[in-house]
Amino acid sequence: MRILKIASGFVLLGAGIAMLALPGPGWLTIAAGLAILAGEFVWARQLLDTLKDTAAKVRGKASGRSTHGAKTEEHRSSHH
């Protein structure tokens, strides 16, 4: 069972990496593969944690931009 778990994790990881260049949910598939492998390998847990941290930072920056853009738009419409 352990070997099947490890193999499926590596298959998902490889498929996710391929999907970065091909159509498909590459980052999501990479995260799924790392989540499976994280139970067996410390390096996979560390990569998964790094991926989660990076995603949170990107989400924070995207939220900050759209909030800023909304304020700017409100500001413009109140002056016209």
* Domain ranges within the chain, ordered by starting residue: 2-79
The tokens describing 46, both together, are 């560390």
Answer yes or no: is pLDDT of 67 > 50: no
The CA distance from 78 to 54, in Å, is 36
Q: pLDDT band for position 75 (50/70/90)?
A: very low
The CA distance from 26 to 38, in Å, is 18
pLDDT at position 76: 45
**CA distance readout (Å), 5 to 14, 20, 32, 60:** 14, 23, 12, 33
The CA distance from 71 to 80, in Å, is 15
The tokens describing 58, both together, are 């990107």
